[in-house]
Amino acid sequence: MLIESAEELLDRACRIPVERVRLKSLTDAGIELLVRRDDLIDPELSGNKFYKLFFNLRDAHLQGFTRLLSFGGAYSNHLHALAAAGKRYGFDTLGVVRGDRPVQISPTLRDAEAWGMQLAFIGREDYRHKSEPELIAALQAKYGDFYVIPEGGANAAGARGMQLLGQALEQQLKGDYTAVCIACGTGTSLAGLAAGIDVTRPAIGFSVLKGEGGLGRAVAVTYRQLRVSEADVTFGAAANWRLVTGFHAGGYGKKHPEYLSQFWQGFEGDTAIPLDPVYTVKMFLGITSLAQQGYWQRGSRIVAIHSGGLQGRRGFVCPS
Ligand SMILES: *Cc1c(COP(=O)(O)O)cnc(C)c1O
């Protein structure tokens, strides 16, 4: 197993470029925007999924597992990264995918298979029970023993990797920023990031899901697991994370409304930074909208985490 130590990962995370970008909507509001390019952390295991898999792979290895199983949809950044990690670090991987196998699978799943991931398509009803022991037992009976990573890498080990990203950011900028922003699906990344940065600065999560669901609660639980030593951090109130829910633009993976396509095109034209259609584009829309609404004081220095996911552009009509 060639996977790095946590120190090596931190070292690598400290060398991720943090780029200053100029957008008229932000400069007009007196806001400086820095983009941390975690989409560049690895050519195959992109963005936050790299960090979220890191301790999961280490834990699996320490417990003697050679086979990993996880879940995702046809364009899942998580399954894509897991397949790449399996190939790189010598694990067999099994990807459980929602729905029937179509005649032609997505480019995401094609890559995953090419990297050696075995795909198992299960019905939508079964998929809903993916975290229940009965379904896991049924999969185990069929495919043998394996280490289970929840969909999206959404567990404490996943958050620990993102905590390390937060620590790297803190070291790089020496605390000289106002807030850090990230796109949220499960909220694991937000929880880890918030737990990694200084408790006096907020981590702001932009949810790409329609409806809050259990997102805030999930973030709170994971965050507390990582910030246990900080006695003053209590449920919600004193925690340094916030959730913004108004920029899902129709919901997870939905066709983009016209205003989002236009924003995306404008952003990439102005910055030359490619975005993914499901997550980062909505976070940047949220950041610029909040700035225009006067959410941050003039002179604020906002950091946005580019959490990767660019492989997902292949399922979408993109601006460039
Ligand atoms: C998975 C993903 C997220 C969301 O991460 P969570 O930890 O589930 O909130 C954000 N951005 C990108 C690009 C992703 O692939």
Would you say the CB of residue 185 lies under 6 angstroms from ligand 1? yes
**Mean of pLDDT values over 98-106:** 94
pLDDT in tens, 4-38: 899 999 999 999 999 999 999 999 999 999 999 99
Neighbours of 182 (CB within 10 A): 29
Tell me the mean pLDDT in the region 76-98.
97
* 66-145 and 6-45+155-315 share a CATH fold: yes
> CA quadruple 271, 277, 280, 284: dihedral positive or negative?
positive
When pLDDT is averaged across residues 52-63 and rounded to a whole number, the result is 96
- Name the nearest CA neighbour of 82 among 99, 96, 70: 70
> How far, in Å, from the CA of 194 to the mean position of ligand 1?
15
Is the beta carbon of 172 within 6 A of some atom in ligand 1? no
The full set of domain ranges for the chain reads 6-45+155-315, 66-145
Return the pLDDT at 221.
Answer: 93
For residue 109, pLDDT over 70 is answered with: yes
pLDDT at 257 over 60: yes
Q: CB of 282 within 8 A of CB of 208?
A: yes
**Quick one: which H or E segment has residue 96?**
strand 92-98
Q: Which two tokens stand for residue 257?
A: 């409304």
183 lines ligand 1 (CB under 6 A): yes
According to CATH, the topology of domain 66-145 is Rossmann fold (3.40.50)
Instruction: Give distance in angstroms: CA of 152 to centre of ligand 1.
Output: 7
Residue 231 has pLDDT above 80, yes or no: no
pLDDT at 315: 77
Secondary-structure class of domain 6-45+155-315 per CATH: alpha beta
d(CA 99, CA 121): 6
Q: What percent of the chain is predicted at pLDDT more than 70?
A: 96
Atom index in ligand 1 nearest the CA of residue 52 equals: 7
Tell whether the model's pLDDT for residue 218 goes beyond 70.
yes
CA of 24 to the centre of ligand 1 (A): 27
Residues 198-209, mean pLDDT to the nearest whole number: 96
pLDDT digits (tens, 9 = 90+) for 148-183: 999 999 999 999 999 999 999 999 999 999 999 999
In this prediction, residue 262 carries a pLDDT of 97
- pLDDT (0 to 100) of residue 318: 84
Q: How confident is the model at residue 235 (pLDDT cuts 50, 70, 90)?
A: very low
Indicate the average pLDDT of the chain.
93
